[in-house]
Amino acid sequence: MTKTDLEQLAESRLSPGRYRHTLAVARLARELAVHYGADEEAAELAGLLHDLTKEESVPTQLQILTDSGIIYDDIFWASPSLYHAETGYLYARDVLGIRNEEVLSAVRVHTAGKAGMTLLEEILYVADGTAYDRTYAEAEELRVVAFRNLDACMARVVRRKIDWAAARGRPVLPNSLECCDWICMKIRQGSLPAGEGRI
């Protein structure tokens, strides 16, 4: 599929606001990929794919997950807001025929994260959390940090997501906690400008 095909598909499947978000994520993902020497086309593709199933009904997503035959744990089933990352991965792989494993994995982990993320996975995670349509108080600052030090931005975005879920009594996936521990360890083991690694 061409970029235009994917944009048209996203527009047909998503509300106007979600479609604008998708384009904003794809744009920032591409810019970050250029900045960090990653595959910019793959980053943009992941951005266009990441929320394709976000607005499907919960019953529809449950059917997709059940039909996949993949075994999920109880914490996953208790977190419907996370279903779209998995169903988006399945849709991209099985319906659209996307074969780039790193793109598929980036879509799959863009919400919860995981330990040991690849550069492309980090780029999509950060682009989704700090996209140009994000208006929360720290969004603009975090976009600046993203181009200074991707790991530092990643740490702050994942910590923000964990705190947001905990404050609302929602389950925090072990993957997210492991992601937070991993990225913080990565920062501690590297050299970071003063203040950039705070979370």
At 153, is the pLDDT very low, low, confident or very high (cuts 50, 70, 90)?
very high
Q: Is 87 helix (H, G, I), strand (E, B) or coil?
A: helix
Sequence ranges of the domains in the chain: 3-137
Look at residue 72 in the predicted model and tell me its pLDDT.
84
Three-state SS sequence of 123-175: HHHHHHHHCCCCCCCCHHHHHHHHHHCHHHHHHHHHHHHHHHHHHCCCCCCHH
The pLDDT mean for the chain works out to 92
The CA-atom distances, in angstroms, between 127 and each of 110, 113, 134, 198 are 9, 13, 10, 19
Q: With cut-offs at 50, 70 and 90, classify the pLDDT of residue 199.
A: very low
Percent of all residues in the chain with a pLDDT value above 90, rounded to a whole number: 79
| Whether the Cβ atoms of residue 123 and residue 109 lie closer than 8 Å to each other | no
Where residue 86 falls among pLDDT bands split at 50, 70, 90? very high
Looking at domain 3-137, its CATH superfamily turns out to be Hypothetical protein af1432 (1.10.3210.10)
Kindly report, residue by residue over 44-80, the tens digit of the pLDDT. Answer: 999 999 999 999 999 999 999 999 988 888 878 878 8
Q: Residue 118: how many CB atoms within 10 A of its CB?
A: 13
Whole-number Å distance between alpha carbons of 195 and 190: 14
8-state DSSP, 50: T
pLDDT surpassing 60 at residue 194: no
Q: Is a pLDDT exceeding 60 seen at residue 107?
A: yes
CB 10 within 8 A of CB 52: yes
Q: Is 12 exposed, middle or buried (0-12, 13-18, 19+ CB in 10 A)?
A: exposed
Q: Which two tokens stand for residue 27?
A: 């744009």
pLDDT reported for residue 58: 92
* Nearest alpha carbon to residue 9 among 40, 45, 59: 45
What sections of 14-149 are H helices per DSSP?
Answer: 16-36, 40-49, 58-68, 74-77, 83-90, 101-109, 119-130, 139-148
More confident residue, 152 or 72: 152
- Predicted confidence band at 173 (pLDDT cuts at 50, 70, 90)? confident
pLDDT of residue 196: 44
